């Protein structure tokens, strides 16, 4: 499978600011790629920073003015599935800012009693997908899984947070992954969950908005706080526009009953 992904950001900086971007596909995925940052038409120097789980950040310093970021990559075939690391059992079982698994323990215990392993993943995915309505106008960036469950509405990050929180509450290590998702509508950066069963990571997308087999990993973390596409340090910025594309030479049919690994 060949996938072509891109993102284009236009940003207005009010003053000196360091921008840290998480828009490049994870290490080892791209057959070819290009990242450019310009300010008022002039190139800006970019430094690459490596994260755990193959994530790559790109940092640059800009001053007041208009900044344009363009990223393109082609991904051929699939990389190896994410490896199991013993520390992950601890790190991704703990409650985190947006995944309050301790708060949601009574809900998880009541709704999924008797389910284990891959059956539990399927059960949680189906339950979240039917309990929540996808609504881009209803969510706040600081909402966590508990707030999402109360409102019964959200976007992909909210679906992923609720899945992760419920699984952690039942002692299943789970994390959030930012991806490019061919077939997604409306097109944007996408967030899914990944859960550890039998020492293997399995992707869980309760939105069912794109085939899991065609997704391309960008960043991996405890929740959206670890996978944000843009972090700034310094002056205020305005995100003037953002365009994301992700296409595949063939979109597979995704049977939600069949477990899939994000490669």
Chain mean pLDDT for the chain = 95
Residue showing tokens 């601890």? 90
Instruction: Check if the beta carbon of residue 252 is closer than 8 Å to that of residue 213.
Output: yes
Residues 215-250: pLDDT tens digits?
999 999 999 999 999 999 999 999 999 999 999 999
Which tokens hold the place of 123? 């059960």
Distance CA 207, CA 229 (A): 20
C-alpha to C-alpha distance for 34 and 145, rounded to whole angstroms: 35
Q: Do domains 2-77+230-247 and 86-226 have the same CATH topology?
A: no
CB burial of 125-159 (b: ≥16 within 10 Å; e: otherwise) equals bebbbeebebeeebbeeebbbbbbbebebbbbbbb
* 137-180 pLDDT tens trace: 777 888 999 999 999 999 999 999 999 999 999 999 999 999 99
Domain layout of the chain by residue ranges: 2-77+230-247, 86-226
First to last CA, the chain: 12
171: cis peptide before it, omega within 30°? no
DSSP run (H or E) holding 89: helix 86-91
Whole-model pTM: value is 0.95
CATH number among 3.10.310.30, 3.50.40.10, 3.10.620.30, 3.40.1390.30, domain 86-226: 3.10.620.30
Query: Which overall architecture, per CATH, does domain 2-77+230-247 show?
Result: Sandwich (2.60)
């Amino acid at each position: 499978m060949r996938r072509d992904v891109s993102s284009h950001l236009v940003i207005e900086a009010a003053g000196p600011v360091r921008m840290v971007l998480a828009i490049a596909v994870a290490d080892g995925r791209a057959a070819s790629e290009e990242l450019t940052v310009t300010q008022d038409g002039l190139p800006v120097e970019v430094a690459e920073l490596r994260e755990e789980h193959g994530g790559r950040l790109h940092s640059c310093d800009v001053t007041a003015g208009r900044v344009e970021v363009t990223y393109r990559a082609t991904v051929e075939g699939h990389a190896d599935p994410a490896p199991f690391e013993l520390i992950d059992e601890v790190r991704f079982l703990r409650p985190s800012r947006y995944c309050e698994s301790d708060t949601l323990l009574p809900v998880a215990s009541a709704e999924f009693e008797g389910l284990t392993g891959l059956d539990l993943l399927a059960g949680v995915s189906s339950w979240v997908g039917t309990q929540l309505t996808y609504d881009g106008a209803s969510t706040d960036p600081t909402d966590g899984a508990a707030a999402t469950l109360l409102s019964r509405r959200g976007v992909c990050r909210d679906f992923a947070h609720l899945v992760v929180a419920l699984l952690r509450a039942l002692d299943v290590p789970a994390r959030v992954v930012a991806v490019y998702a061919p077939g997604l509508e409306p097109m944007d950066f996408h967030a899914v969950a990944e859960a550890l069963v039998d020492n293997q990571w399995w992707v869980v997308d309760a939105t069912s908005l794109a085939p899991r087999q065609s997704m391309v990993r960008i960043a991996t973390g405890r929740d959206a706080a670890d996978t944000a596409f843009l972090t700034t340090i310094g002056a205020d910025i305005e995100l003037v526009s953002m365009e994301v594309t992700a296409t595949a030479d063939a979109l597979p049919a995704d049977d939600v009953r069949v477990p899939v690994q994000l490669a």
